[in-house]
């Protein structure tokens, strides 16, 4: 009879610990491109969910305004020099922002590593015009991923609802 309250208290404690862990879990996702065994790049981002029924691009996510998914910038980590749109990106850590527009997007690579979500134009390393297209089916989550398109070359793609924006990252080493 005395074991019942102890078991109940134990299970309540376990439940509370699991709930606390679930709430503190980091919701970030990572997209990576491995050029070879020693050279890679990775982008960390918040895979926000926007749904497919309500149009958020142009309303909640404003056109022509700097946007950081989930309220904090994406991060780019690379251990190899890169070329993006003909411009050099040294190995290192950067933050990424996006300027969405109805028919094209711009990627901002910032030298800042401030994760507060505050954007400072004076810290821009470069702005890259992104290729842009429409997906046949709406995606409910903002997602970033890489596809190998050639040796030492990866295509970074960003999808949100019916929009897809992409650019090529080339290893310059």
**pLDDT (tens digit per residue) in 65-93:** 999 998 899 999 999 999 999 999 999 99
Query: Counting Cβ atoms within 10 Å, is residue 4 exposed (0-12), middle (13-18) or buried (19+)?
Result: exposed
Q: Which residues form the domain of 132?
A: 27-171
User: For the chain, how many structural domains are there in total?
Assistant: 1
**pLDDT of res. 173:** 67
**pLDDT of res. 42:** 97
Residue 29: both structure tokens together:
């996702």
**pLDDT of res. 26:** 55
**In the beta sheet, which residues pair with residue 132?**
165
Counting residues of the chain whose pLDDT is more than 70, the rounded percentage is: 84
DSSP 54: S
Whether residue 6 has pLDDT greater than 90: no
Residue 126: both structure tokens together:
């470069």
Q: Is residue 65 in a domain?
A: yes
pLDDT mean over 53-62: 84
Tokens 């030298």 identify what position? 111
Note whether 161 and 141 are within 8 A (CB): no
Q: Is residue 146 in a domain?
A: yes
**pLDDT of res. 145:** 95
Q: Is residue 81 in a domain?
A: yes
């Amino acid at each position: 009879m005395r074991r019942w309250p102890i078991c109940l208290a134990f299970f309540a404690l376990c439940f509370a610990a699991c709930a606390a862990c679930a709430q503190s879990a980091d919701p970030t996702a990572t997209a990576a491109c491995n050029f070879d065994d020693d050279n890679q790049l990775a982008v960390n981002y918040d895979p926000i969910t926007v749904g497919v029924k309500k149009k958020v691009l142009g309303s909640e996510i404003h056109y022509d305004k700097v946007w950081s998914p989930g309220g904090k910038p994406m991060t780019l980590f690379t251990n190899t020099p890169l070329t993006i749109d003909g411009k050099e990106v040294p190995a290192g850590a950067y933050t990424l922002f996006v300027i969405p527009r109805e028919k094209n997007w711009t990627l901002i690579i910032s030298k800042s590593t401030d994760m507060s979500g505050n954007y400072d134009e004076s810290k821009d390393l470069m702005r890259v015009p992104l290729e842009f297209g429409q997906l046949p089916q709406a995606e409910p989550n903002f997602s970033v991923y890489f596809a190998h398109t050639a040796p030492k070359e990866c295509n970074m793609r960003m999808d949100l609802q019916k929009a897809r924006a992409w650019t090529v990252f080339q290893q310059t080493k």
